[in-house]
Amino acid sequence: MKQDQKNLSSDRSYREKVFGKFYSMATGEVLTLSETVSPETMSDFIQTSKQLIDEDLMPDHYMEFSDDYSQIKKKAKIRTNEPIR
């Protein structure tokens, strides 16, 4: 049981670090994963990033992967005054 709690805590800590990195990036900034993420954590980083992208936690920005998942970019959300149909 303690190991499960440790893993959950560790997962939350890693998730918070990933979100913190996204939050601190400037609009338009590109993060090249091979320069920032170790090969050992690449899969975890991508999965965590996908979850955060799906959750859409930043009100004015969103994150977008390149097609090959080698980079991730912070983009501004564009809002229009037109109603969604």
**Mean pLDDT for the stretch of residues 46-63:** 93
Q: Kindly list the distances between the CA atom of residue 22 and the CA atoms of 1, 42, 83, in Å, as whole numbers in the listed order.
A: 32, 16, 29
Q: What percent of the chain has pLDDT over 70?
A: 82
Q: What's the alpha-carbon Rg for the chain, to the nearest Å?
A: 15
CA distance 63 to 18: 12
Tokens 């440790």 found at: 6
Task: Give me the chain's average pLDDT, please.
Answer: 86
**Residue 82: pLDDT band by 50, 70, 90 thresholds?**
low
pTM above 0.85, yes or no: no
**Residue 67: pLDDT band by 50, 70, 90 thresholds?**
very high
pLDDT above 50: residue 3: no
Tell me the two tokens of residue 16: 């918070």
